[in-house]
Amino acid sequence: MNVSIIGAGYVGLVTGASLAELGHNVAIMDVDEAKIARLNRGVVPIHEPGLSRMIEKNRGEGRISFTASLEEATKDAQIHTICVWTPPMEDGRADLSAILSVAEALGIVLQKQRAQNPVIVTKSTVPVGTGKRVTQMVRKNFSGIFSVASNPEFLREGRAVADMMHPDRIVVGSDDPQAAELVSSLYADLAAPKIITDLPSAEMIKYAANAFLATKISFINEVANVCERVGADIDAVKEGIGSDKRIGSAHLYPGMGYGGSCFPKDVRALQQFANHQGYDFKLLKSVIEVNEQQRQLMVEKLRLHLGDLSGKLILVLGLAFKENTDDVRESAGIDLINRIRAQGARVRAHDPIALLNAQKVLDTEIEYITQPHEGARDVDAVVVATEWPQFRELDWPQIKQNVKNPLVLDGRNLLDPAVMKGLGFTYEGFGRK
């Protein structure tokens, strides 16, 4: 099938490459001409394991192309998938201006092409009712018959290609059953349940899924905070409750809270959307509050051990919001840096691949290092802010020799407390004895 993808961002590139891998002909369009030029040279602008290889393979086989022209991308396609960013506004609601702008432009192009029964799909995370607004925007300029569907993505950064090719489920919602079946057929070769529903339900499913996972994270953080006060061990507690099949072990990882491009904005957006519908979503307000609290708790842990942070030198390990990505959006490490810098601390920072992106959002006083062992020289504390597995393999005995003060605050419970204490560190995680 011929498919156009509008938006060469994270979701658009992973979706387009995966559909090409499934045998479809995919044209990916973006208004950023420089980005399109790089993609046509084989340069993928995001770090995602397996994505570059998949794009290179399917470009070579002629199943994927890149263009800055909406008319060129859509000319042979029957399904047009909108994958543009929906950033949060100041009040937390999703900014749909890009989605609606694309819908209006699609209407103009489809009218010019005299398109026959096109299906317009929202892949971006959007609040309930967006499909109706997309329909209205397309109808302004297109007089033919068309359908709108929602096909939300459930991609985890760092594992997105695997998630796309081996999904837990595929959700398609539309008020046109034939359109829903057509979109679902894109994934016919994938052995995953196909959930076909109405348009509003599909839009709600993505928000509800992310909000539930964020709730699990905030819940286990609250439990960890209680464990610290009563002498219980969160590692044992999470094993005990996670073994219950009704609960499961996923997202039971205490620490500095969730971040990234999805959970923070989607939780806030669902809360605000509920408010605008006249419902006070009390649980999500608490989820957001707890996540904010965890960042500040790390600051308080530093102050407990170091006193006044003014002039103290802190090494922060991890700037990406999670491992296996260079995405620093809503990064706990960056949030922590801003908080301790406001209290006068000096900061050295290291990340395996996110240093360049971090420099775009942090102030110029940060010292960026590529070698964490040398970066530990004369520091007053080391903070682990991202769960990069290679941080476990650092030469911690060498770091112990280099630091001014052997204090390690593990914001991801990544390290073994007994090993760290055996090396002579003062070690503290979240909820550990």
Q: CA quadruple 89, 94, 98, 101: dihedral positive or negative?
A: negative
How many angstroms separate the CA atoms of 223 and 295, rounded?
16
How many angstroms separate the CA atoms of 126 and 149, rounded?
12
Residue type, 427: Y
List the alpha helices (DSSP H) in 61-129: 70-74, 97-113
Task: Give me the helix-helix angle, 234-242 and 199-230, nearest 10°.
Answer: 140
Q: Are 291 and 258 in contact (CB under 8 A)?
A: yes
* Collapsed DSSP state (helix, strand, coil) of residue 186: coil
DSSP string across 343-397: TT-EEEEE-SS-HHHHHTTS-TT-EE-S-HHHHTTT-SEEEE-S--GGGTTS-HH
How many angstroms separate the CA atoms of 394 and 403, rounded?
14
* Collapsed DSSP state (helix, strand, coil) of residue 318: coil
Indicate if 262 belongs to the active site: yes
User: Considering 262, 267, 354, 379, which one is annotated as catalytic?
Assistant: 262
Specify the pairing of strand 25-29 against strand 346-350: unpaired
The structure tokens 């033919």 sit at 144
Q: Are 375 and 402 in contact (CB under 8 A)?
A: no
Cβ neighbors of 141 (< 8 A, separation 6 or more) are 104, 107, 108, 110, 111
* Collapsed DSSP state (helix, strand, coil) of residue 29: strand
- Residues marked as catalytic: 262
